[in-house]
Amino acid sequence: MKEQPMNAMNLSIVIPLLNEEESIQELHDWIAEVMQSNHFSYEILFIDDGSTDASWQAIQRLSEVNPNVKAIRFLKNFGKSQALHAGFKAAQGDVVITMDADLQDNPEEIPELYRLVTEEGYDLVSGWKKKRFDSILAKNIPSKLFNWAARKTSGVKLNDFNCGLKAFRKQVIKSIEVSGEMHRYIPVLAKNAGYHKIGEKVVQHQARKYGKTKFGADRFIKGFLDLITIWFVSKFGKRPMHLFGAWGVLMFIIGFGLTIYLGIDKVFINPGGRLLTSRPQFFVALTTMIIGTQFFLAGFLGELLIRTRKSKARYTVSEEIHLSRQIPRITS
């Protein structure tokens, strides 16, 4: 293990959660045991995403006996991506681990993930739940299709994009913006930010011990839509005119060319022929010119929005525990 500078923190463990009161104590004890046996300096960051059960009270009890427990509580449920964003903003460890609070991710994997980042030089290491304890039809097959599409679209060669157990170099999570429902595509966001050393490790997947999953089958539909979004944003997010402007100019040229053709035909070739408005080419020319103009204006307006947009609040924090570097109560 590499020598750490004085006062450097080895690990930040970011755990977003929603209504997981039964598992919090057991998960904390398991993580603490792994940290102590490996002599890691660490913090556990619980992000309570608007739980309606006693999850926050369980976290408060843990923080009273373990100063390494820190927490952020959202005023209501804002989603996993927003929870991770808040956790990333507060994390201070050299390596940041994300994991779910349902005990399906095994804390015993953390030391090896830490080693891969600190000694092997990976920017990001994603877990791969090769053997799963989920429903084959409801989760396994849709997950395989989803991961195949994500690999083909993003170029990131991972087998399990949606695995919650991941390890990041600190600089990575401070350089990316996790918003909307983009937590599934953090490796893609990292790649787009210039971090290309992305690895994968087979991790143990455990059956859910308490409660039930908070995600339904609709997450795969949302996942595919998010995949299209992130592809578009990575390609044209900073230069929408490159897409809309190019299509607009092409459509306008086609329409304008047809208009010239119709004009020459009517004036010089067939003056006594049908009226222009009775020819289908006229309406094709008119439609393509209108669509081309609209595409061009869409690209122009997109460029203006990018240059004038202001960040807005994405979530509201109601309480914090043991955070020396306070994050804003309402943050973007």
User: Rounded distance, CA 213 to CA 192, Å?
Assistant: 31
Strand positions, DSSP E, the chain: 11-17, 42-48, 69-74, 95-98, 124-128, 166-169, 198-202, 315-321, 330-331
- Same domain, residue pair 75 and 146: yes
Residue 323 within any structural domain of the chain: no
Domain around 171: 11-236
Give the residue from 210, 236, 262 where a domain finishes: 236
- In total, how many domains does the chain have? 2
Give the residue from 190, 207, 236 where a domain finishes: 236
In tens digits, the chain (332 residues) has pLDDT values of: 445 555 689 999 999 999 999 999 999 999 999 999 999 999 999 999 999 999 999 999 999 999 999 999 999 999 999 999 999 999 999 999 999 999 999 999 999 999 999 999 999 999 998 876 656 565 667 778 888 888 888 889 999 988 999 999 999 999 998 887 788 889 999 998 899 999 999 998 887 777 666 555 566 677 777 777 777 777 777 788 888 989 999 999 999 999 999 999 988 888 888 888 889 999 999 999 999 999 999 988 887 886 676 666 668 898 999 886 555 554 44
Residue 2 within any structural domain of the chain: no
- Same domain, residue pair 212 and 252: no
**Strand 95-98, strand 166-169: pairing:** antiparallel
User: Rounded distance, CA 13 to CA 168, Å?
Assistant: 10
CA 218 → CA 77, 139, 151, distances in Å?
Answer: 18, 11, 20
- Same domain, residue pair 180 and 111: yes
What predicted TM-score, i.e. pTM, was given to this entire model? 0.75
Give the residue from 236, 263, 287 where a domain finishes: 236
- Same domain, residue pair 182 and 118: yes
Q: Of 102, 247, 122, whose CA–CA distance to 165 is shortest?
A: 102
- Give 201's strand partners: 127
- Same domain, residue pair 229 and 291: no
Q: Of 232, 226, 123, 231, whose CA–CA distance to 179 is shortest?
A: 226
Residue 50 within any structural domain of the chain: yes
CA 47 → CA 110, 130, 310, distances in Å?
Answer: 19, 27, 26
- Same domain, residue pair 245 and 227: no
Residue 330 within any structural domain of the chain: no
- Same domain, residue pair 102 and 244: no
